């Protein structure tokens, strides 16, 4: 069976990578791609990624794309994801969401879409990073609060949200391992005379610079030893591959909200 996959935000860096991944994946065809008015609209999707013309042009109508697709992949921005989630809810089309930095209102739109469509949402679609989530939870459950936990992340200078969605998910994994809420123990920044570190705190450090695709390290440290779990992304291909894998997996699922742990069988 051939699966028709659409890409919203198809002209961006991640969007183009997703286009290439769909074209390179057996059993997949591109159903189309969208961009806001004036941004690559009318361009052929094949030419957009440096290949031969496909006879499929970039459009600006998300609802039409969802209607013409078996699945749609969304790595855009929160304002756009609100529109795309509404289209998924309207059409019942399988929906893969990789947008980070969503507000509670944005997330409510994704949750509403999952009532009528099968949705995979993840802060990170890398297989390695999702294994890191699982390891972080396991280590946090094993080591007591004498071990301080800090999450260090670095991304390219163009990333607009901080900490990264992946860093926040790592924090949630550590908090879950300790049976606490991240909101109760998180420290997102340190500056000035802040006093001694409270026991059980989960700290974050954010770096931005250059073209770094995504580095994440979880540090567990007590008075005598330090354990570091690290993942470094070498190419956005790892995210695109996981997203297309999710789109294929969704074809056999009922409506509902799923994560990459479900796709990978880690739950």
Give the Cα separation of 127 and 78 in Å (integer): 24
Sorted by sequence, the CB contacts under 8 Å of residue 17 that are 6+ apart come out as: 236, 237, 239, 240
Contact 177, 140 (CB under 8 A): yes
Is 254 designated active site?
Answer: no
CA distance 72 to 94: 6
84, 155, 216, 231: the active-site residue: 155
CA distance 8 to 159: 18
Collapsing DSSP states into helix, strand and coil, what is residue 66?
A: helix
Tell me if residue 231 is catalytic.
Answer: no
Catalytic choice (20, 137, 158, 159): 159
Structure tokens at 210: 């250059």
> For 186, phi and psi rounded to 5 degrees?
-75, 140
SS3 of 170, please? helix
| SS3 state at 164 | coil
CA distance 96 to 42: 24
Residues designated as active site: 155, 159
């Amino acid at each position: 069976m051939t699966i028709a996959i659409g890409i919203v935000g198809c002209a961006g860096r991640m969007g183009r990578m997703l286009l290439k991944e769909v074209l390179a994946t057996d059993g997949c065809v591109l159903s189309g791609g969208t961009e806001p008015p004036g941004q690559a609209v009318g361009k052929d999707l094949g030419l957009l990624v440096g290949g031969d013309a496909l006879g499929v042009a970039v459009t600006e109508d998300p609802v039409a794309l969802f209607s013409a697709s078996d699945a749609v992949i969304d790595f855009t921005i929160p304002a756009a994801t609100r529109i795309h989630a509404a289209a998924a809810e309207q059409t019942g089309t399988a929906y893969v969401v990789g947008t980070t930095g969503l507000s509670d209102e944005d997330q409510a739109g994704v949750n509403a879409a999952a009532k009528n469509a099968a949705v995979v949402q993840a802060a990170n679609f890398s297989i390695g990073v999702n294994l890191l989530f699982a390891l972080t939870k396991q280590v946090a459950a094993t080591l007591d609060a004498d071990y301080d936990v800090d999450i260090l992340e670095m991304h390219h200078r163009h990333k607009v949200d901080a900490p990264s969605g992946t860093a926040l998910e790592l924090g949630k994994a550590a908090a879950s391992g300790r049976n606490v809420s991240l909101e109760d123990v998180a420290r997102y920044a340190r500056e000035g005379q802040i006093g001694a570190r409270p026991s059980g705190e989960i700290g974050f450090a954010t770096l931005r610079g250059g073209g770094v695709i995504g580095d994440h390290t979880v540090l567990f440290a007590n008075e005598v030893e330090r354990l570091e779990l690290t993942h470094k992304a070498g190419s956005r291909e790892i995210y695109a591959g996981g997203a297309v894998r999710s789109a294929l997996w969704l074809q056999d699922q009922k409506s509902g909200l799923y994560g990459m742990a479900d796709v990978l069988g880690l739950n």
